[in-house]
A and B are shown apart, each in its own frame.
Chain A
Amino acid sequence: MEPRTSVIEKRLININRIIAVASGKGGVGKSLVASSLALHLAQEGYRVGLLDLDLYGPSSHIILGVKNEFPTEEKGIIPPVVHGISFMSIVYFTEEKPSPFRGVDISNIILELLAITQWGSLDFLIIDMPPGIGDETLDVIRYMKTSEFLVVTTPSKVAMGAVSKLLNILIELKKPVLGVIENMTMMDSSFIEQEVKRLQIRYLGKIHFDETLEESIGKPDHLKETKAMKDLRVILKKMKL
């Protein structure tokens, strides 16, 4: 019998809201939105956790400039607090080496992380999801029953094609979708907005392409001052976050 599933609910019981930042497509800026959202909430005085579940290509630690940190052992593992965020990632255990995991391994890692991580009391746990509707998405839906989804796309028709599939499965499974953020916009177009509204999902707004953003990667204090962050704050205000 698999014992770890029995303890997950207890580990998450003192977390007020779980927001999974997801997309059907890779490279749309999920990690940046997830990290920026966590930074914003921490700045607002909330108790925030960030769980990077992109197990093949974790990148939240790069965005937040996390170095030489490791969880402490105390009746499980307690994530280190970085820039006011309790931050958990597979990267503590993989040392930036390639991670050749198959599906069953992915599910085992997620179960292990959820069973042994002691988050304590949080107002928000933000999850940086990998792209698509594979094991990680299904496991979050299965084991983190209160999770809400914040979906990210780019203005690309190709991205929206994959994002529509994710939105459709979330609708089918009756999971709460907070809305869709259109990231890295370069010109005015209402294509994404129309597509999102057609699915009766809330279109949250645009984050304009910010050519200076790359310079702020690894420097959270700079990141907070970027144009992209300003756009995100407008969206988050709309969402009452």
Chain B
Amino acid sequence: MHEWALAESIVMATLEEARKEKIKSITQVIVYIGELQQIEKEIFLFALRELSKSQKPPIKKDAFILKTEKSILLCKNCGENWKYSDMKKKLNETESESIHFIPEVVFVHTRCPKCGSPDFEITKGRGVVLSSIKGVQ
């Protein structure tokens, strides 16, 4: 249930943002989930809903919209672009689980598929991001 901790950060950030924007009731929260973090969507959504109960300002039960973002990696050495999903099969369970906890360890357990360099970057789809919130002011 590592998803719980991340859901907690989303709920706290949502409330912080709503207070800043003087929103009295939160009706929509869009959250992007980077593929690299391999979040269990159902657990994450359950945690978001549980943690949203009895909050001030209130968060509507079905406010959360989760959108998955493909993870794109770019090699700084040769310019190759690739998707995490393309290389996932090559990872063993422990490596994959480590990336689930700390997405940056992708630099430890994988290499550029073209030139073998460890010097690449995550250009899209790293982890959990609060994209936008809507509500009644």
Contacts and interface: CB of A to CB of B under 8 A. Distances in A.
A118 interface: yes
A118 B10 CA distance: 16
Main secondary structure of the interface of B (DSSP, over half): helix
Contact of A100 (B95, B118, B126): B118
Q: Tell which of A5, A7, A92, A108 has the most Cβ of chain B within 10 Å.
A: A7
A90 interface: yes
Contacts of B127: 112
Contact of A94 (B5, B8, B17, B108): B108
Given A77-B2, A116-B5, A3 B98 contact: no
A99 B1 CA distance: 26
B108 A1 contact: no
Given A93-B102, A108-B104, A113-B102, A3 B109 contact: no
The 10 closest A-B pairs by CB, nearest first: A76-B5, A3-B13, A93-B98, A7-B9, A6-B12, A6-B13, A75-B4, A3-B9, A116-B5, A100-B118
A5 B12 CA distance: 9
B101 to A, nearest CB: 6
Contacts, number: 95
A215 interface: no
Interface in A79-137: 90, 92-95, 97-102, 105, 108-109, 112-113, 115-116, 118
Given A3-B12, A108-B126, A115 B6 contact: yes
A74 interface: yes
Contacts of A5: 13
A109 B4 CA distance: 18
Interface residues of A, number: 32
A73 interface: yes
Interface in B1-46: 1-2, 4-6, 8-10, 12-14, 16-17
A184 B6 CA distance: 43
Given A10-B8, A75-B5, A109-B102, 12 more contacts: A3-B12, A3-B128, A3-B129, A7-B5, A77-B101, A93-B105, A100-B108, A101-B104, A101-B107, A102-B121, A115-B5, A116-B6
A2 interface: yes
A238 to B, nearest CB: 38
A4 interface: yes
A61 to B, nearest CB: 15
